[in-house]
Structures are given as C-alpha cells and as structure tokens.
Amino acid sequence: MIKVGIIGVGTVGQSVANILEKNKALIGARAGKEISVVKGVVSNINKKRDVSIPLSDNVDDILDDDSIDIVVELMGGVDEPYKIVQKALSNGKAVVTANKALLAYHRYDLQKIAQDIPIGYEASVAGGIPIINALKVGLSANQITAIKGIMNGTCNYMLTKMMQEGVRYEDILQEAQDLGYAEADPTFDVGGFDAAHKLLILASIAYGIDAKPEDILIEGIENIGQDDIAFAKEFNYSIKLLAIAKKINTKIELRVHPVLIRNDQMIAKIDGVMNGVSVIGDCVGETLYYGPGAGGDATASAVIADIIEIVRAGQSSPMLGFKRPFQSENLILMPKEEIESEYYLRMLVDDAPGVLASIAQILGKHNISIETFLQRPSDNNKKATLLCATHECQEKYIIAAIKEIESLQSVNAKIVMIRIES
C-alpha cells in the first residue's frame, strides 16, 4: 500500500482525501497499488474539516514518518512550503504540489534537489486541465511557437460579467471571492501575478527558460472601465487577461496583461470562471485545452493524477521535461521594451481646439501609426474621452509616447493602455 500525507487540508486537500476514498478501487487498479491518505497537517487544528483522516498541526508528523511515501503540499505561500518540500525530498519522499507561487520561484532548485525523486505539479497550472502533461508528454515533439492562456478564473469571471452584464469592476470582485475562486490575497488574481506564476511554469517546460516573476511584464485588470468595454463591444473584441509566451527567433516573450482580442479567436470564447490554454506547436498546429482552473474537486483531480503516475511509473520524466539542457538555440528572455503589439489608448482630455492634433502629432513623432480614433462626449461638457487604436509598434515607443501625451496640459488623467492581441 502507498501511504500519502497531506500538508494543508483546505478545500483542495479535503477533496483529495475524499476522492481517493470514493474512487479507491478504480484508482488502485489504475495505479497498480492501493493508495491511502494516512495523515493530514493543518495550521488550525480546531477548525472543522470534512475528512475522516487523522489531523495534526505539526508538519514533522508527516515529514519524519518513514511509512509515508508521498507528501502532498497544498498549503500555499513560498518560503514555508519550500522548506517543507526540501525536507520531504531529503527524507526520500515523493512530492505532489499545487503551489504555483513556490514553483514560479523555486522550480529549478527543486528539480536539482529532487534528482530522481518524483515531483508532480499538474495542479499548479489551470487546475483540472492536464496542461503540464500535454506539454511535457503529448507535445514533446514540437517546437512551441506560442502559448496563450486564460489561466485565472477570477479575472475571467469578472471580465465576462463586465462584458456580458455591464457590471462594474468594483462590484464584481467580492462576488468572485465569495464563489471561492480567488486567492487568499485577491491582488494576486486581479494584478496578474497568479497567471504569471502559471506562465513561468509552462515556459520552463516549453522552452527550458528560467525566469522569475520580476523578470517579466505583468499587468492586471484593475484599470479596465466601462469605456473600454464599450469600445471592445463596438469593434468586436473581448477583453481577457492573457498569459502569453511566444518564441520569436531566439527570444522568448513572456507577458501577462489584459488584451483586446477579436471575438473570432478560439481563446476569446472562453468565458466565466473557466480556463483555456492555446498551445501552438510547429508540427501539431494549434491545440486548445479548456476546463475548470480552480475549485476543490477539479484541482484534486490533477493532484491525484500525479499521485497515480508516481505510484505507477515513479519519475517517468524529468520534473521540467528536459533530460539535458537544450543549448543549440541559446534562447533568452525578450526585454520588455522590445515586445511588439498593437495598442488601445483611453485618454481623458479637454474638449478644446488642437488637443486631438497635438496627441496625433506625438504619436506620429514616435513613429506610431493610428488605426482608429474615436471621441466620446463626457458627462462634463468641457472634457472628452478619446479612444485610439494603433498599428503594431514596439513597447518602448508607445511607453515614450504615453509619457509625453500625459505631460500635455490638456490631458487630465493617466492614460489607460490595453494591448491588442491579433
């Protein structure tokens, strides 16, 4: 019998224990051995939990128990779980974790420490969608041209409600939290960090690239307003928080930010709390993975798949998918300023002669070509909202142009910029 200890028996942990019990015979047949959760560790022992396993509040009750084969880490955070996972590995225990923040910072250290001890982390990206396995195994013949993922259910739920029901940003965050999809600190969701952690994990498997959250462009959905939603509707776009990895020659572009994306693109159709990841490979073309990215049972489905795989095959492939470094291309991270995109700008300006001309002149000076320009009347009749879409240009030029436009006397607020994903 394989013995499992769970550290962090919250929503996902309870589901893991209960599903392993409910589907015991089937899972045992698939794994070839009976799998049993023998202990759980929690921070608050007095809190009632819906599980029948013995609970303790001391991690060493699992880490120092020689009979336990697999440690499931579901506690969240970075430093504390890093210490715990290191100790589990040094005690020879396999590890399964859903902790994307831990992996965003320490995946390469953990791979090194683990050597041949298995570490499973399917649940860390897009919850129940088996995207890690798809990239590591199913698409391993391919050069990955691009990954575009909607990998934060909270943001996708909020943006969908804003687009479809006209709900305002401020009124929808609480609802998303109440539904139980948001992180303990929801700024991780709306600020784009949760999606960035997931993107970094996928980029390691796709490209073997070791980047940290602070190395990449991360923007959240906090500034999306009603005018942006109206523009998107009028011009047949959806607004999504997209995590993007692209291979451009020997440079890898990694970024997370809201985008305006044409409604006819497959990824634009992923609505509500659901996640979707499009992966383009040079042999296979575009593949799309869709499903629940959060929630107890859906995430537990991925955690248990890792447990079964460990029992069945041990470390069937290296943690991040590369048996030896892939050096022939010397891939590097593309500097943020070199990223190319089309841009949408929203500007609150004085409604006065020459204002539009001065803005157009600044854009022209930075070699930015305008695709669409719209003026909307404002509630205050001395002000106007200008909405502008540009043709493709490098990030550094649009940033410089925005700075210069913002310094005009006639521009009354910070400009909202959204990238257009074509």
Name the site residues for ligand HSE (rule: CB under 6 A).
127, 152-154, 181-183, 189, 194, 293-294
Q: How far is the CB of 310 from ligand HSE (least distance, A)?
A: 22
Written as one letter, the residue type at 145 is: T
Looking at the Cβ atoms of 9 and 89, the one nearer to ligand HSE is 9
Looking at the Cβ atoms of 28 and 149, the one nearer to ligand HSE is 149
Q: What are phi and psi of 193, to 5 degrees?
A: -70, -40
Q: How far is the CB of 194 from ligand HSE (least distance, A)?
A: 5
Looking at the Cβ atoms of 28 and 128, the one nearer to ligand HSE is 128
Residues 113 and 90 sit within 8 Å (Cβ to Cβ): yes
Looking at the Cβ atoms of 135 and 182, the one nearer to ligand HSE is 182
Q: How far is the CB of 165 from ligand HSE (least distance, A)?
A: 19
Number of Cα atoms under 13 Å in the Cβ half of residue 70 = 29
Q: Give the sign of the dihedral formed by CA 120, CA 123, CA 126, CA 129.
A: positive
**Closest of 247, 325, 18, 273 to residue 151, by C-alpha:** 273
Helices (H), 54-168: 60-63, 79-90, 100-114, 131-133, 153-165
Say how far apart CA 395 and CA 415 lie, in whole Å: 15
Burial class (CB in 10 A: 0-12, 13-18, 19+), 63: buried
141: tokens are: 């013949």
Rounded to 5, what percent of the chain is helix, strand, coil?
A: 40, 25, 35
Strand partners, 5: 39, 71
Looking at the Cβ atoms of 208 and 296, the one nearer to ligand HSE is 296
Q: How far is the CB of 202 from ligand HSE (least distance, A)?
A: 13
Strand partners, 389: 344, 372
122-145 CB burial, b ≥16 within 10 A, e <16? bbbbbbbbbbbbbbbebbeebebb
Written as one letter, the residue type at 36 is: S
Q: Annotated active-site positions, please?
A: 198
Q: How far apart are the first and last CA of the chain?
A: 52
* 3-class SS string, 319-333: CCCCCCCCCCCCCEE
191: tokens are: 């600020």
Residues 408 and 401 sit within 8 Å (Cβ to Cβ): no
Q: How far is the CB of 302 from ligand HSE (least distance, A)?
A: 11
Looking at the Cβ atoms of 5 and 291, the one nearer to ligand HSE is 291
Looking at the Cβ atoms of 171 and 338, the one nearer to ligand HSE is 171
